[in-house]
Structure 1
C-alpha cells in the first residue's frame, strides 16, 4: 500500500487488469496512492501540504461538533466491492465501527465521505467518486473546492443517486444537518491556527 514519497524507479504491479482488491494488497509500497474503480487502477501522489492542512482543519471542526457515537477519520481504506476500493480524504463513521474494523471499512460504515479537490483529482472527485459513493449507498458526500474560496458542495443521497449539490461559500455559515449538526464557514478551512 502507499507511503508518502513517490519514487522514480519503475514499479512492477502484481496481477493483471482488471485488478481486484486482493491484487491491490500485494502492490509494493512505492509512494503512490492506489485506488480501484471497476478493476481500473487509479493512481495519485500523496496529498499536498495545503490539502493535508484543509483536511486536518475539517477533521477538527467535525470532531468538535460530533456526538460521541460518531468519529471523523482521514484517509481510510474503503472496500466497496471485489474490484472497487477508494481512499476518501475524510469520512465520518460510527465510533463502534472504528474498533471493529481492522483494515478496510465497508460502505455501510461510512455516513459521510469527503474529497478535497486537487488539480490531479478534479474529474475523479467531481464525477467518478460522486457516482461511486452514491452507488455504494453512502448517505452524504462533501466535495471541498479549494479554488472557490474554498466552498463545500454537499450531496445527499436520494435513492441511488445524489441530489444536486447544495453549495456553501467562504464567508457564509454552512448549517449542515447530516450526519450530525455542524455549523462553520468554509473559509475557516484556510485560516491558520491561532
Structure 2
C-alpha cells in the first residue's frame, strides 16, 4: 500500500550543495516537498489534514471570486532563479499563463502568493519566503496563521519590501480588493464540513 509517511531509510540526492533547480529536477519523488533558497535545500514533510483543509477551502473561495482572466492554483512550481525554487500553497496567475506554462511559473506570472503556516514552516513562511517573494517582485503575499484562529495577514509590495496591508482575525469577514474582490471569514478555512 502506498503512503506518504516519512521513511526511515536514507535518501541519496544527486548533486552537491549549493543546489540548483536543475539538480532539484533529478531528486527522487519520495513524498517530501523540496524547495531551494539560495541553493540551500528546504525539505517539508507532507502537509497535515488541517493544512490541506485550509488550502482546499481557500482555493475554492478564491476560485469562486476570481474573474475569468485569473486562475488560482494550489502547490505550483515557482522558479525564482537558478538556485531559488518554491512551492507556494496557493497562487493566483493570469489564466493565459496556465496554458503557456509546462512545468514552472516565474515570479512575473504570480499576482498573489499564499503560504499557510505550519509548525514546521513558521520561520520559512514568516521570514524567508516573505523576503524571497518580495525580492522577486510578487505584488501580494497572504500568510495564513492557522494557530491564530486562523488569521489572514495581507502584505502588499511597496518598493522592495512588503508592508502590512491588513490583519484579518477569525470571526470577521475580510473584504479584500486585490488581485480582485473577494470576501471571507478566515474561520471558514478550518471549520468542519456541514
TM interval, short-chain normalised: over 0.9
1:160 counterpart residue number: 160
Deviation at 1:165, TM superposition (A): 4.9
1:103 counterpart residue number: 103
1:122 counterpart residue number: 122
Instruction: State the number of aligned residues.
Output: 192
Deviation at 1:12, TM superposition (A): 0.5
Q: How far, CA to CA, are the matches of 2:6 and 2:102 in structure 1?
A: 26
Q: How far, CA to CA, are the matches of 2:142 and 2:151 in structure 1?
A: 10
Q: How far, CA to CA, are the matches of 2:19 and 2:42 in structure 1?
A: 11
2:81 counterpart residue number: 81
Q: How far, CA to CA, are the matches of 2:5 and 2:78 in structure 1?
A: 22
What 5-or-longer segments of structure 1 have no aligned partner?
Answer: none
1:174 counterpart residue number: 174
Q: How far, CA to CA, are the matches of 2:178 and 2:14 in structure 1?
A: 40
38-47 or 5-14: bigger deviation: 5-14
Q: Secondary structure at the match of 2:164?
A: coil
Q: Secondary structure at the match of 1:143?
A: strand
**Are the equivalent residues in 1 in contact too, given 2:153–2:164 (CA < 8 A)?**
no
**Are the equivalent residues in 2 in contact too, given 1:7–1:31 (CA < 8 A)?**
no
Q: Secondary structure at the match of 1:126?
A: helix
1:23 counterpart residue number: 23
Give TM-score, length-normalised by structure 2: 0.96
Give TM-score, length-normalised by structure 1: 0.96
Q: How far, CA to CA, are the matches of 1:29 and 1:188 in structure 2?
A: 32
What 5-or-longer segments of structure 2 have no aligned partner?
Answer: none
2:112 counterpart residue number: 112
